[in-house]
Amino acid sequence: MMSVKVGQIVGALLITAAVATASIAGAQDGSPVADATPVTGDAVASLPLEVKIGQLIIAGVTDTEVGDDSRHIIEDLHIGNIILMGRNFDSPEQVLALTRGLQDLALEANGIPLIVGTDQEGGLVQRASYYAGFTPMPPARLAGAADDPALMDRYGQMVGSELAAVGVGLDFAPVLDVNDNPTNPVIGSLGRSFGTTPAAVETSALPFLAGLEAAGVIGVGKHFPGHGSTTSDSHLDLPFVDKDLADLEAVDIAPFAAAVEAGIPAIMPAHVVYTALDPDLPATLSAPILTGLLRGQLGFDGVIITDDLGMAGIMQIAPPEESGVRAILAGADILICVRMPIDGACQPEMIERLHAGLVAAVAAGTLSEARIDESVRRILALKDAYRAGPASGDALGVIQSPDHLRLIAAIYTAVADRRAEVR
């Protein structure tokens, strides 16, 4: 159990954390968030190392209700954030009970609420599915074809309100990749991109992001600096993009630059090598890309969250115990291990290796506590800005409500009307 002293420190941090990562953030009920004073360096530095390292990780759990697996992840490893996969979704009531139990566990063990996230893009990538009792989402490609920013804002609010109702405070969406290779096996062919041009992506993705923000849910733009032109799937291989810098800036990077300008709170880099930016390393491990381009040139000051560290695109470079350290040193803040026993994913047992690798890197002097503190400040500020913590349970009625079903119908109608116009 966490000591009273640690609890007092963490409580002070969460009360005073600067709202630095979400310029248009709201609470999970959509109410405005008041400005707060900055976290002091001494307060963050006073946290136990195991708690700080836990804040740098998002891990999957196998449970549909709090059980031994969740307790191991949160109590033994002090993991500070959780990603829910399809296996964790049976019904809205069940997910609410799970997230509330996870939050209670985290507050008791570590004194800091969790960020609980999931992939809710639409189409083939929606963990909170119709079969689990949630409103079905069309693929981003179809939603983008509506070419209606106001509709996309409402759509983002709909998605965010259903997630927030069950205690999920982060959505690994919107996809900001431009679909300039329709045969791309992981973006284009799966309908995950909003459009084939930067303008089309921005027209739909940025309002969707604003809708998530209005619902008090953290949006994560992915996969920086763009996965739309690859010819292979980074779950299964390490893709290379050989575009020149001018082409990357004009197409792939443009939606991310626009999202940074709009105040996006979090961005996910790709397990992809961009030879014009870094000829040797994928974006996940590249300081020139994460620190030089994203933070330096684009001015992003939010949280950088890696893609799953068990994907083949990163495993070809290094296992999680090494890639996690290298990603943090390159500029990332949070590392994902989904703990799924399938090919191309971080396996359940890899979480111990990832955690141990970070601990060992600190002990060896490879990773300084000062660098860890830098990321912990960003993470705690993000949690404070979005009021991380247990959901009240009062908003379950919005899920699959008539208004939400009518909104989905309106998207399909808008697409049909647009297609009729161009015939």
pLDDT tens digits, 129-143: 999 999 999 999 999
Checking if the pLDDT of 16 tops 50, the result is: no
Does an H or E element contain 58, and which? strand 57-60
Query: Cis ω on the peptide bond leading into residue 223 (within 30° of 0)?
Result: yes
Domain boundaries, the chain: 4-421
φ/ψ (deg, to 5) at 114: -85, 150
pLDDT above 70 (res 422): yes
Residues known to be catalytic: 235, 307
Say if CB 35 and CB 12 are below 8 A apart. Answer: no
Going by C-alpha positions, the residue among 420, 409, 388 that lies closest to residue 143 is 409
Residue 65, Cβ neighbours under 10 Å: how many?
Answer: 12
Mean pLDDT of the chain: 90
Contacts of 114 (CB under 8 A, 6+ apart): 74, 80, 81, 82, 102, 103, 106, 388
d(CA 344, CA 301): 30
* φ, ψ of residue 420 in degrees (nearest 5): -65, -35
The DSSP code for 112 is S
Res 204: pLDDT: 98
Say how many C-beta atoms besides its own lie within 10 A of residue 4's C-beta. 9
Instruction: Give the C-alpha separation, 246 to 261, whole Å.
Output: 20
Please name the residues in contact with 40: beta carbons below 8 A apart, sequence gap of 6 or more: 16
Could you report the per-residue pLDDT of 400-416, keeping only the tens digit for each? 999 999 999 999 999 99
Residues 6+ apart with CB under 8 A from 331: 287, 290, 291, 294, 295, 304
Using DSSP, state whether 397 is helix, strand or coil.
Answer: helix
Helix (H, G, I), strand (E, B) or coil at 208: helix
CA 107 to chain centroid, in Å, comes to: 21
CB atoms within 10 A of CB 182: 12
| Nearby residues of 199 by Cβ (< 8 Å), 6 or more positions away | none
The CATH code for residues 4-421 is: 3.20.20.300
- Region of poorest pLDDT, from 155-164, 187-196, 250-259, 353-362: 187-196
List, in sequence order, every beta strand (DSSP E) within 127-254. 170-171, 218-224, 240-241
Q: From 233, 232, 234, select the one nearest 282 (Cα to Cα).
A: 234
- What is the spatial distance between Cα 348 and Cα 62, in angstroms, rounded to a whole number? 9
**Do the beta carbons of residue 379 and residue 388 sit within 8 Å?**
no
- pLDDT at 226 (0 to 100): 92
Q: What is the pLDDT of residues 243-284, one digit of tens each?
A: 999 999 999 999 999 999 999 999 999 999 999 999 999 999
Q: Read off the tokens for 148.
A: 């209606």
Query: How far apart, in whole angstroms, are the C-alpha atoms of residue 217 and residue 33?
Result: 13
* Confidence band for 19, pLDDT divided at 50, 70 and 90: very low
Least confidently predicted of 7-11, 144-148, 297-301, 319-323: 7-11
Structure tokens at 152: 């996309």
3-class SS of residue 79: coil
Separation of alpha carbons 73 and 122, rounded Å: 28
